[in-house]
Amino acid sequence: MSHEKEEIFPRDPNKTYSLMTIVDGDSFQVEHGPDDTLLSWPHLMVRELLLFLLVFVVILGVSLLFNAPLEEAANPLHSTNPAKAPWYFVGIQELVSYSAFLGGIVAPVLIVLSLLLLPYLDRNPKGVGVWFSADRKLATFLFSIFVIAMIILILIGQFVRGPNWALYWPWM
Amino acid sequence: MSESAYSLQESIKQLPGNIKESVFRREGGTPEQEQAAAIFGNVFLHLHPARVHINSLRLSYTYGLGLISFFLFLLLTASGVLLMFYYTPATQLAYRNMKDLEYVVSFGIVLRNVHRWSAHAMVAFVFLHMCRVFYTGSYKAPREFNWIIGVCLLLLTLFLSFTGYLLPWDQLAFWAITVGSNIAAYTPWIGDSVRFLMLGGNEVGQMALLRFYVLHVALLPLVAVVLLAVHFWRIRKDGGLSRPQNS
């Protein structure tokens, strides 16, 4: 009965092989080809723990140095001027100042829809696992426009919009 | 232990070993088996694979952005639960609670600061994490669905932050939510109904505060925890973090 063993990893013709030693098979790697993996404990978990400590220390440090903003008690009869949305919505608010419907409804809905559909629209299988892959210049370009536009809108809304949403320069 | 040899004395002698074995569900093994079991024998860690690819550990690949977002979520949960002991979602009390946190409660101001700054940071880091996933093409097959879960988590993060924004009940909070809910009211045909549903009225008041509070401390965090579990589980099921094909 011929019983040929399945090849675990292909032989490299440029290398010579010889039996060095026989060890007891108590490792998960026995009968597996070489791969580039490490045990999650400790290699991954220790890094995760260190990152958590770093995040905690930085947040604690910032919290000891800077107090969260707190203005006077809410007064429905006295509006602040300008009244600004939280910073992550201030870009939308900036768009609303041009057109309430287009900026406040159409743009956010389009953004969310295109984000949700993105993996089904971009079926180009190339360029996975590499930053700014040369195989997907168009995708990188289009997404960068979106990111930069959001940042610019937020910066405008947050820093150069004064009373009545008029442009003003903070240093003047 | 064999059945015939049962004795109380023996049980007491074996007590530490038996407790350890019942907690960890395993007897000792080789060091490598123990290390692997530390991951898959733990309900919290079993979302991790027992082995990870070295590319997943490269800081310059992920910059830890997703993990940082999750850690901020943990910090927000811990500080948020503590803040709930000192907060009442009532228009006459909420702002006074803020002042008490600042001047009466020991380290109350630090607690509030941790919560506030972590919230801002989480919005930023979730967005950066999304950018990393995009620029490395990590939403491509078979990871399409996990990208969708991620977009939902980004929206949840924004809603969590937005609902929390009203709770201090100061001028900043009140008028920011007024502006935000007015944007929602621009929805054609049903705009006013959308705002009414959000605020429990036509303007920001007690009903809005209660609604935002319940969403902020119960409903949205619960949904977030469930989606986070799916998000992490999918990473593993989809073959770990994305990496170049030849590696």
Say whether pLDDT at A115 is over 60.
yes
Name the band, by pLDDT with cuts 50, 70 and 90, for residue A14. confident
Q: Is residue B110 part of a domain?
A: yes
In this structure, of A25-29, A78-82, B52-56, B221-225, the range with the lowest mean pLDDT score is A25-29
Q: Compute the mean pLDDT over every residue in chain B, rounded to the nearest whole number.
A: 91
Judge contact between B53 and B243, C-beta under 8 A: yes
Q: Which of A52-66, A153-167, B184-198 has the highest mean pLDDT?
A: A52-66
**How many structural domains are present in chain B?**
1
Tokens of B81: 């639960």
Q: How far is A35 from chain B (nearest CA, A)?
A: 8
User: Which residue did the predictor score with more confidence, A161 or B39?
Assistant: A161
Nearest-angstrom CA–CA distance, A158 and B2? 74
- Check CB contact under 8 Å for A40 and B39: yes
User: Which residue did the predictor score with more confidence, A109 or B37?
Assistant: A109
> What pLDDT, on a 0 to 100 scale, did the predictor assign at position B175?
94
Neighbour count for residue A62 (Cβ, 10 Å): 16
Domain ranges of chain A: 87-123+137-165
Q: For every one of its 247 residues, what pLDDT tens digit does chain B have, with 9 covering 90 and above?
A: 455 567 899 889 989 988 888 888 777 778 878 888 888 778 778 888 888 898 889 999 999 999 999 999 999 999 999 999 999 999 999 999 999 999 999 999 999 999 999 999 999 999 999 999 999 999 998 999 999 999 999 999 999 999 999 999 999 999 999 998 988 898 888 989 999 999 999 999 999 999 999 999 999 999 999 999 999 999 999 988 999 886 5
Query: What ipTM did this prediction achieve?
Result: 0.89
pLDDT one-digit tens code per residue, B193-202? 999 999 999 9
Chain A residues in contact with B61 (beta carbon < 8 A):
131
> What pLDDT, on a 0 to 100 scale, did the predictor assign at position A26?
60
Q: Is residue B246 part of a domain?
A: no
- H, E, C per residue of chain B: CCCCCCCHHHHHHCHHHHHHHHHHCCCCCCHHHHHHHHHHCCCCHHHCCCEEEHHHHCHHHHCCHHHHHHHHHHHHHHHHHHHHCCCCCCCCCHHHHHHHHHHCCCCHHHHHHHHHHHHHHHHHHHHHHHHHHHHCCCCCCCCHHHHHHHHHHHHHHHHHHHHHHHCCCEHHHHHHHHHHHHHHCCCCCCHHHHHHHHHCCCCCCHHHHHHHHHHHHHHHHHHHHHHHHHHHHHHHHCCCCCCCCCC
> What pLDDT, on a 0 to 100 scale, did the predictor assign at position B1?
47
Tokens of B94: 């909420």
- Check CB contact under 8 Å for A38 and B140: no
Name the band, by pLDDT with cuts 50, 70 and 90, for residue A27. low
Q: Is residue B245 part of a domain?
A: no
Say whether pLDDT at A4 is over 70.
no
> What pLDDT, on a 0 to 100 scale, did the predictor assign at position A21?
79
Name the band, by pLDDT with cuts 50, 70 and 90, for residue A9. low
Residue B92, domain extent: 58-237
- H, E, C per residue of chain A: CCCCCCCCCCCCCCCCCCCCCCCCCCCCCCCCCCCCEEEHHHHHHHHHHHHHHHHHHHHHHHHHHCCCCCCCECCCCCCCCCCCCCHHHHHHHHHHHHCHHHHHHHHHHHHHHHHHHHHHHCCCCCCCCCCCCHHHHHHHHHHHHHHHHHHHHHHHHHHCECHHHCECCCCC
Query: For residue B105, which of B87, B120, B81 has the smallest C-alpha distance?
Result: B87
Q: Is residue B167 part of a domain?
A: yes
* Rg of chain B (C-alpha set): 24
> What pLDDT, on a 0 to 100 scale, did the predictor assign at position B67?
96
**Number of Cβ pairs closer than 8 Å across A and B?**
224
Q: Is residue B7 part of a domain?
A: no
Residues 6+ apart with CB under 8 A from B32: A26, A27, A28, A39
Judge contact between A72 and B170, C-beta under 8 A: yes
Q: Is residue B38 part of a domain?
A: no
Chain B residues in contact with A101 (beta carbon < 8 A):
186, 188
End-to-end CA distance of chain B: 49
Judge contact between B174 and B204, C-beta under 8 A: yes
Cis ω for the linkage preceding A76 (within 30 of 0): no
Name the band, by pLDDT with cuts 50, 70 and 90, for residue A1. very low
- What's the CATH number where B120 sits? 1.20.810.10
Residues 175-234 on B with a CB inside 8 Å of A are 175-176, 178-180, 183-184, 186-188, 203-205
> What pLDDT, on a 0 to 100 scale, did the predictor assign at position A2?
47
In this structure, of A16-25, A99-108, B133-142, B232-241, the range with the lowest mean pLDDT score is A16-25
> What pLDDT, on a 0 to 100 scale, did the predictor assign at position B141?
87
Of A27, A39, A115, the CB nearest to B151: A115
> What pLDDT, on a 0 to 100 scale, did the predictor assign at position B46?
81
End-to-end CA distance of chain A: 92
Amino acid at B27: E
Q: Compute the mean pLDDT over every residue in chain A, rounded to the nearest whole number.
A: 87
Q: Is residue B4 part of a domain?
A: no
> What pLDDT, on a 0 to 100 scale, did the predictor assign at position B41?
79
Nearest-angstrom CA–CA distance, B112 and B103? 12
Tokens of A154: 């937020």
Chain A residues in contact with B50 (beta carbon < 8 A):
28, 39-40
Say whether pLDDT at A8 is over 70.
no
